[in-house]
Chain A
Amino acid sequence: MPEQPDRHIVIVGAGTAGCTAAGQLAREGYRISLIEKESEPGGKVIKWYQLFPDRRKSKEVLKYLQGEIDNPLINISLNTAVESIKKEHDKFIVTTTHGVLSPADAVLMATGFDLFNPERKEEYGYGIYNDVITSVELEEKFHSGSVITSKGVVPERVGIVHCVGSRDEKVGNFHCSKVCCVTAVKQAIEIREMLPGTEVFCFYMDMRMFGPYYEELYREAQEKWGVNFIRGKVSEASENIEGRLLVKVEDTLAGKPLKMQVDLLVLMIGIENSLSGRKIAEDLDLKIGINGFFSVRDNHYGNNRSSLEGIFYAGTCTAAMNITDTISHARASVVEIDGYVKSKVNKVKV
């Protein structure tokens, strides 16, 4: 592969997708400007303790991503946000909070996702009751090595609520966030492993075990770890006089309403297209789908291409996806970008 350091690609976001694409493009000889608004690369993976389905440490994936961007052709700018992107002829002028970058041949949006703010689902009591926490906050507890309630005691019973901010018209999200079901199963197992005396109940609408070894993990949760599953959407959570959380749900399979006290309630918050990504897209007038994610040119064979030539997508800015799919999607974007840039070069030659 000939070196083409005169070819410059800007990648917005140094999460799983951004780092993967940066590494691959640099190996193809492209000069990369990798822009990250946070203080370190790695994106949302940083927040996770272990990953589904094999419960490997998330640090291993972070190490892989770090290795990908360890290349002299990649210039990473941390604590830097993109202010605007303008297309001038076939070049892109990217302005960041730290100045204007040299004109780019293409831009890859790897802007990722935001986690749903559960305060928007007030009936679940997040921000009102101390022991209603998010799936991410539970990962922080795993990181710290101790899962205790706000009262400083080991919970006797933990409830896990699926679909918080997903498949819910009331918060404006029709889509399924895909990864929360299996995250719930993984976290239920982790709780049971860490606290064998603690009961765990998952409240679900449908168990969507779409990936390899997900169904097996679900089975393991039942068989080996005694995790309980109740089919029903939680309608509300409130605190009772003893300071325990009271969950109300219909046990749809029993056909009766059910109430249950838990000591810790974990909300499986969903995935939304990132606000910062959407802001950048406004400038460029990129199309957004009804699910709030970026619309791809073709759902089957053009899902790295945007509505504007030269702007590409990788990862969860286009749809909810797991790490494996994000990496595949990012690698695929490299082929698209390389093809696009080469087609421009060839045109100039003619």
Chain B
Amino acid sequence: MKNFGFSSIKPRVIDYDRNNRAVMEYIMEHEPSFALCIGCGGCAATCSAAQFTEMSLRKLNILIKRGENDEVRRLMNKCMLCGKCTLVCPRGVNTRNVIFLTQQAFNKLDNYAI
């Protein structure tokens, strides 16, 4: 085939209708405090992992809610589960449990369990 010099670029728009939000629903069900995040970033400011990696729980929370699962997979394993974020959160979100549940949810998702 003739190469016209074009390549396809993955759109960076959040395709809300197409995204799979099963992970979000799973977390909401098992940790309702997840809904309370106001995106203040207190968690990310205190996060040890965030000093050296892209880890940001604030960002992870919103990506989960939008169903941006590829990015969530990339970020979620950077957490060291120290729990400092849980101590800081002004909304009382059980952030540490959110990480656990995210990992659980992806396991289930990959095994067609949710």
Residues of chain A having any CB pair with chain B under 8 Å = 123, 163, 167-170, 205-206, 231-236, 248-252, 255-258
- The CA of A256 and the CA of B41, in the complex, are separated in Å by 9
Cα separation A249 to B38 with both chains bound (whole Å): 15
Q: Which residue of B lies closest to A204 (CB)?
A: B40
Query: Would you call B56 and A205 a contact (CB within 8 A)?
Result: no
Cβ contact within 8 Å between B92 and A205 = no
Using CB atoms, name the residue of chain A closest to B51.
A257
Tally of B interface residues using CB under 8 Å: 21
Shortest CB-to-CB span from B87 to chain A, Å, is: 8
With a cutoff of 8 Å between Cβ atoms, the chain A residues found around residue B90 in the complex are 163, 167-170, 233
Q: Which residues of B contact A249 (CB under 8 A)?
A: 41, 45
Q: Which residues of A contact B40 (CB under 8 A)?
A: 205, 232-233, 252
Name the A residues within 8 Å of B91 (CB-CB): 169
Ranked 8 nearest A-B pairs via Cβ? A250-B41, A233-B40, A250-B44, A235-B45, A252-B41, A235-B46, A169-B92, A232-B41
- A170 neighbours in B (Cβ, 8 Å): 87-90, 92
Extra A-B contacts (14), CB below 8 Å, given A232-B40, A255-B59: A167-B90, A169-B91, A169-B92, A170-B87, A170-B92, A231-B41, A232-B44, A234-B42, A234-B45, A235-B46, A248-B45, A252-B58, A257-B50, A258-B45
Give the docked Cα–Cα distance between A170 and B36 (Å): 14
- Complex Cα distance A234/B44, Å? 10
Which of A163, A206, A232 has a CB less than 8 Å from the CB of B45? Answer: A232
CB A184 to nearest CB in B, in angstroms, measures 15
* Proximity bits, B5-20, A CB within 8 Å = 1, else 0: 0000000000000000
A-contact 0/1 string along B75-102, CB 8 Å cutoff: 0000000000001111110000000000
**B43 partner residues in chain A, CB cutoff 8 A:** 235, 250
Q: List 23 A-B contacts (CB under 8 A).
A: A123-B88, A167-B38, A169-B92, A206-B38, A232-B44, A233-B45, A233-B90, A234-B42, A235-B43, A235-B45, A235-B46, A236-B46, A248-B45, A249-B45, A250-B43, A250-B45, A250-B58, A251-B41, A252-B58, A256-B50, A256-B56, A257-B51, A258-B45
Chain B minimum-CB-distance residue to A250: B41
Q: Are B59 and A235 in contact (CB under 8 A)?
A: no
Asked if B56 and A250 sit within 8 Å, CB to CB, the answer is yes
Nearest-neighbour CB distance to chain A for B56, whole angstroms, equals 6
Distance to closest chain B CB from A236 (angstroms): 7
